[in-house]
Amino acid sequence: MITCGIDIGSRSIEVVLFDGAQVIESAKIDTGATPTENAENTFSTLLKSAGITKEEVGKILATGYGRNYFLGADRVASEILCHAAGVVYHYPSVHTVIDIGGQDSKMMQIGANSKVLNFIMNDRCAAGTGKFIEMVATTLSLPLEETGKKALETDESCEISSMCAVFAESEIIGLLHKGVPTPVILRGVFKSIAKRILGMAGKVGIQDDVVFTGGVALNPGVREALMQESGYDIKVPGEPQFTGALGAAIIAHREATQ
């Protein structure tokens, strides 16, 4: 039995084909201005790449911000449930999930059988998300993918008092004019992000094992800041941006084979 999970986020679309034991094929594309068309094209391309037909897919489950945009789904599911299932696949003993995407952030408390015991989500403010880090990278004239490594060039950090994108940009420009090194500024930015994210822990709790997912989990500077501020070792899956789509495919497989 082959199932498919499609995670349509605000910034990217991930599609996963799953056979009940492992991922057969996966793909990622920018969401863009036409998420429905982009999701359908990515799904079709993935089927061709895997050498299977649509009729061979037992069930399709869509999740994420734009889950209702994929009209070919058999049903949709909460991204919270899908992320939990995807993380548990990689780390069965997980208790806390921190997920930071392009425009939102989440923290989940996971119990037995991948059950979500509690969660909190911030989707009303870009601060602490991938979009915020993109703004910082632009202000510092750095490629986004280099910001994490650059931050790790120093152990020193500065205070970033504002987490509003507009005010933070002015604050960063001011620090540059004062001669504060770029790695120090980035350390300060990531420390501020970590504090903001971990501020949600008071509502859901945090305990080992802690797993970091979402596109921002690819940034080693943010991971380092989260570990320093939380005091926990934080694990990151090999492809952290795919956990939602993987979880959707796993849930679809579970339902299709019951």
**Tens of pLDDT along 139-154?**
999 999 999 999 999 9
**Same domain? 86 vs 165:** no
**Same domain? 14 vs 114:** no
160 confidence band (pLDDT: 50, 70, 90) = confident
**Same domain? 205 vs 256:** no
Count of domains forming the chain: 2
pLDDT (mean) for 182-191: 96
Q: CA 43 to CA 57: how far, in whole Å? A: 11
**Same domain? 20 vs 75:** yes
* Residue 161 clears pLDDT 90, i.e. is over it: no
**Same domain? 38 vs 105:** no
pLDDT (mean) for 145-171: 88
Q: What is the number of other CB atoms lying within 10 angstroms of the CB of residue 247? A: 30
Range of the domain at 42: 1-91+239-258
pTM over 0.85: yes
Can you spell out the DSSP letters for 56-114?
A: GEEEEEEESTTGGG-TT-SEE--HHHHHHHHHHHH-TT--EEEEE-SS-EEEEEE-GGG
**Same domain? 141 vs 169:** yes
**Same domain? 83 vs 100:** no
**Same domain? 85 vs 145:** no
**Same domain? 131 vs 209:** yes
**Same domain? 62 vs 97:** no
Q: CA 138 to CA 202: how far, in whole Å? A: 32
What confidence tens digit (pLDDT) does each residue in 62-120 have?
999 899 999 999 999 999 999 999 999 999 999 999 999 888 889 999 998 779 999 99
Instruction: Check which CATH number belongs to the domain holding 209 and give it.
Output: 3.30.420.40
**Same domain? 258 vs 176:** no
**Same domain? 97 vs 205:** yes
